[in-house]
Structure 1
Amino acid sequence: MASLLLCIVFCSYYSIAYGGGGDQSFVTVPTSSFEPERVCSGERVMSEQNNSAVSLPLVHRHGPCAPSISPDKPSFADTLRISRARINHITSGVPRSMGSHGDEKASIPAHLGTSVKSLEYVVTVSFGTPAVPKVVVIDTGSDLSWLQCKPCRPGECSQQKDPLFDPSHSSTYGSVDCGSAPCKKLTADAYANGCANGKQCGFLISYADGTSTDGVYSKDKLTLAPGVVVNNFYFGCGHDKRAVQGLYDGLLGLGRLSESLAAQYGGAVSYCLPTVSSKPGFLALGAGKSPSGFQFTPMGRVPGQPTFATVTLTGITVGGKKLNLRPSAFQGGMIVDSGTVITGLQSTAYQALRSAFRSAMAVYPMVPNDHLDTCYNLAGHRNVVVPKIALTFSGGATINLDVPNGILVNGCLAFADSGLDGTTGVLGNVNQRTFEVLFDTSSSKVGFRANAC
């Protein structure tokens, strides 16, 4: 009864203070909705094909829907630390003409991956003939896909869910020749690693978190769903993978270069990240899972970082009130990244968002956190009143973030200061939850479809 009375009082206060109905600008949610269930819940998602599009189930690799529960689940503090390191790496590679963090950071080559440890979502696809199922993490910040393959000497490959992929057992497998066009393109995109045995094209990916994989650039049949096959799919067959832990078998790159799955399959790529790890989402290739219901904004590029797609924010609304921000506050754009947890926002915009959010949540006590500066102690509250946050992008596309799991993570505001105005920010995966996020490179636009999973 006390919690209900508290909610009624605060909802009335918010409605008066912000000049609108509390139902429109604030949402009352049970605190139990902040935590995922311990068992996989929600409707079972199956692979499906619709005309030229195919949709695959996508799950959190540390959640109960994962094919195998990984023993390397990081703490919340580690998750935030890894996410911050990923943001720092991504933005430090942006040329200084795009903005500066105020120090002299060297430009990082585009071929370096951002971080394998930060990747949180997996899908199951099959390689070879006969088709062998493999659990792979997805990454919009990578292009080249890879698997761990035989032969691999003890200690040179990491523990994974399934046996290593054995190319000798696939009738459709082939290595890529050094003098071939795909190998030359691999070299141009800085993924090449010389020639193996005098003629096989070698590949190498070194990630910012210290992990790496190298081996033979290869091609084989990739089965996405029954009857949906990519023949001669190019990927790295890794024989030496260092410091990568986790029960997954490889990686699917969804970036913008020709090595990515998106480019090899053709058409657009989209995904929907679920509200919590105990529910499934999906990865769609082709025209997107749904042809309608999207709001689109122009897709930009980052000079020197061709893998990434960017969007430009033009406004932020908190609790029904639009923040007073000039367009210059968002200069530099936002990289849309599936592997970053917390959104990194330019300083002026972040400070305005933080101030408005703290005012709207003033009735709840704040608690310190080493990585985020707006965290709350919600213990003792059966329900919490959370202000809606809407992001508006160039062209008018506006998304209302899911409440509460698209705004708060472990009681903390899922935004952080990414650096000075004019720098490039990163739209993290918490804010993307429940939206189908569509990357249409042919039309140079990014789409958002609400309530997709």
Structure 2
Amino acid sequence: MASLLLCLVLCSYYSIVHGGGDDSFVTVPTSSFEPNPVCSQERVHRHGPCAPSPPTDKPTFADTLCRSRARLNYTANVAPTDMRSHGDVKASIPTHLGSSLNSLEYVVTVSFGTPAVSRVVVIDTGSDLSWLQCKPCNPGECTAQKDPLYDPSHSSTYSSVPCSSDPCKKLTADVYSNGCTSNGKQCGFLISYADGTSTSGVYSKDKLTLAPGVVHTVSGLYDGLLGLGRLSESLGAQYGGTVSYCLPAVSSKRGFLALGSGRNPSGFQFTPMGTVPGQPTFATVKLAGITIGGKKLNLRPSAFEGGMIVDSGSIITGLPSTAYGVLRSAFREAMQAYRLVPNDQLDTCYDFKGHKNIVVPKISLTFSGGATINLHVPNGILVNGCLAFADSGLDGTTGVLGNVNQRTFEVLFDTSSSKVGFRANAC
């Protein structure tokens, strides 16, 4: 299927993502954690396991978490309050965990322009504008990527958006405007991200092709981003405002991105969708309770009053201080057989060396309306040996449901009905 992509960027953005005696706990082999990615014979990433020479600028896990923490800190400073009906799936493509890129974000391969040129892009429910690094780009302005910069002059379907047009005026209303270029003829845009990076360029149209089965392995740096937020500029809005995806637990598995409706109309648990005042991009849900190791944590509803942004672009789930402190204590108690180790970004990390198997407590999140998700064990709870939760700030502030907790669920955003759905074991 094809659609019109409404933005191509001329500058840069850098993205940095059973069994047991007690059914409240799961015994898992340490080999079941996110494995080392398999080498691709077609493309080799400069940070990947098949690189011809040792990388000198490979991002560390701490670097990745630092970017995620910056995003979490940003969203924690906004406070929340309150897509269209299902139709046929308009497009569905595989998603992959970007672990071979050391990012822990999720990517899809799509094609741009006519003739079509494939590119790897991050999927992000916390962004509206979609973009791609393009020519021309001055030295130092574009981030290094495996694929060549996209050249819009080679596409017969490319055109820039006029500065006097309604779509350009809408950018100003949604705080994405960056004035006009080329003597006032072309519409410019600017996006600033929570980690301090930004991207700018010419707001443009070109053909975007979403085809099933185009991704088999993840390789190469990201070439751009697909914005799946709530505003009219997002790709999801062009498909009736209904978007769903499933994020795989490990890089050897494939998930999917579906535009137009859910992949499967049955099997969802729904919870009301809220919004963030002054931040209409974000969709929120309200947590009602947390269960760990079969025991519901003793937390008042006021602990979750700020709601949680459902964000595919954040790695770690952020909980307000009271809720996080109680969860952390319960998790540490359940994991006391393993040695805690220091980490600059997360405070509950373990050394599992020497253990062939470990016992992990199940964690369930219950949302308003009763929707309950049982997090994948172990890769929906632990990331690089660390509890995939963090303190997002004072009670009443907005939290974040990060992509680690979302793994293996189909997450459906339906703006017309103002609800978010979860379907278990979808990928």
Is TM (by shorter chain) over 0.5? Answer: yes
Separation of aligned partners in 2, 1:163 and 1:365: 45
User: Which secondary structure does the structure 2 equivalent of 1:201 belong to?
Assistant: strand
Q: For residue 177 of structure 2, what is the aligned residue in structure 1?
A: 192
Q: Are 1:420 and 2:394 matched, yes or no?
A: yes
Instruction: Tell me which amino acid in the other structure corresponds to 2:202.
Output: V
Note the C-alpha offset of 1:118: 6.6
One of 312, 316, 322 as aligned partner of 1:348: 322
Instruction: Tell me which amino acid in the other structure corresponds to 1:390.
Output: S
Gaps of 5+ in 2: 1-17, 82-101, 215-219
User: Which secondary structure does the structure 1 equivalent of 2:111 belong to?
Assistant: strand
One of 48, 60, 67 as aligned partner of 1:75: 60
Instruction: Tell me which amino acid in the other structure corresponds to 1:201.
Output: C
Q: Are 1:216 and 2:215 matched, yes or no?
A: no
Closer, same or farther: CA 451–160 of 1 in aligned 2, 3 Å: same
Is the 8 Å Cα contact of residues 62 and 120 (structure 1) preserved in structure 2? no
Q: Are 1:322 and 2:296 matched, yes or no?
A: yes
Separation of aligned partners in 1, 2:46 and 2:72: 21
Q: Are 1:153 and 2:129 matched, yes or no?
A: no
Note the C-alpha offset of 1:209: 2.8
Instruction: Tell me which amino acid in the other structure corresponds to 1:309.
Output: A
Separation of aligned partners in 2, 1:376 and 1:175: 51
Separation of aligned partners in 2, 1:128 and 1:177: 19
Gaps of 5+ in 1: 1-6, 12-21, 42-59, 99-116, 229-245
Is the 8 Å Cα contact of residues 76 and 393 (structure 2) preserved in structure 1? no
Is the 8 Å Cα contact of residues 407 and 414 (structure 1) preserved in structure 2? yes
User: Which secondary structure does the structure 1 equivalent of 2:264 belong to?
Assistant: coil
User: Which of 131-140 and 391-400 deviates more?
Assistant: 131-140
User: Which secondary structure does the structure 2 equivalent of 1:376 belong to?
Assistant: strand
Note the C-alpha offset of 1:162: 2.0
Q: For residue 28 of structure 1, what is the aligned residue in structure 2?
A: 27
Separation of aligned partners in 2, 1:192 and 1:326: 42
Q: For residue 434 of structure 1, what is the aligned residue in structure 2?
A: 408
1:133-212 superposed matches below 5 A: 133-197=118-182, 198-212=184-198
Closer, same or farther: CA 292–72 of 1 in aligned 2, 3 Å: farther
One of 257, 265, 275 as aligned partner of 1:301: 275
Is the 8 Å Cα contact of residues 34 and 379 (structure 2) preserved in structure 1? no
Larger helix fraction of residues = 1
User: Which of 413-422 and 370-379 deviates more?
Assistant: 370-379
Note the C-alpha offset of 1:153: 2.9
Q: For residue 4 of structure 1, what is the aligned residue in structure 2?
A: none
One of 104, 112, 115 as aligned partner of 1:130: 115
Note the C-alpha offset of 1:334: 0.6
User: Which of 276-285 and 420-429 deviates more?
Assistant: 276-285
Closer, same or farther: CA 118–260 of 1 in aligned 2, 3 Å: farther
Q: Are 1:289 and 2:277 matched, yes or no?
A: no
Deviation sequence 1:382-421 (CA, Å, 0-9, x none): 1111110000000100000000111111221111111111
Number of aligned positions between the proteins = 377
Deviation sequence 1:296-321 (CA, Å, 0-9, x none): 10000011111111000001111111
Separation of aligned partners in 1, 2:345 and 2:104: 19
Instruction: Tell me which amino acid in the other structure corresponds to 2:337.
Output: V
Closer, same or farther: CA 63–302 of 1 in aligned 2, 3 Å: farther
Instruction: Tell me which amino acid in the other structure corresponds to 2:299.
Output: L
Closer, same or farther: CA 124–444 of 1 in aligned 2, 3 Å: same
Is the 8 Å Cα contact of residues 34 and 251 (structure 2) preserved in structure 1? no
Is the 8 Å Cα contact of residues 123 and 226 (structure 2) preserved in structure 1? yes
Instruction: Tell me which amino acid in the other structure corresponds to 1:425.
Output: G
- Relative contact order, higher structure (CA 8 A, sep 6+): 2
RMSD: 2.8
Closer, same or farther: CA 181–61 of 1 in aligned 2, 3 Å: farther
Instruction: Tell me which amino acid in the other structure corresponds to 2:25.
Output: F
Note the C-alpha offset of 1:346: 1.0
Note the C-alpha offset of 1:168: 2.0
Is the 8 Å Cα contact of residues 70 and 247 (structure 1) preserved in structure 2? no
Separation of aligned partners in 2, 1:432 and 1:63: 25
Closer, same or farther: CA 213–267 of 1 in aligned 2, 3 Å: closer
Is the 8 Å Cα contact of residues 25 and 320 (structure 1) preserved in structure 2? yes
User: Which secondary structure does the structure 1 equivalent of 2:76 belong to?
Assistant: helix
TM-score, normalised with respect to structure 2: 0.82
Separation of aligned partners in 2, 1:63 and 1:288: 33
Closer, same or farther: CA 70–192 of 1 in aligned 2, 3 Å: farther
Instruction: Tell me which amino acid in the other structure corresponds to 1:338.
Output: S
Closer, same or farther: CA 205–298 of 1 in aligned 2, 3 Å: same
Bigger radius of gyration: 1
Separation of aligned partners in 1, 2:236 and 2:305: 28
Closer, same or farther: CA 335–118 of 1 in aligned 2, 3 Å: farther
Separation of aligned partners in 2, 1:64 and 1:452: 29
Is the 8 Å Cα contact of residues 254 and 262 (structure 1) preserved in structure 2? yes
Instruction: Tell me which amino acid in the other structure corresponds to 2:172.
Output: T
One of 310, 334, 339 as aligned partner of 2:308: 334
User: Which secondary structure does the structure 2 equivalent of 1:355 belong to?
Assistant: helix
User: Which of 298-307 and 283-292 deviates more?
Assistant: 283-292
Note the C-alpha offset of 1:37: 3.4
One of 399, 403, 406 as aligned partner of 2:380: 406
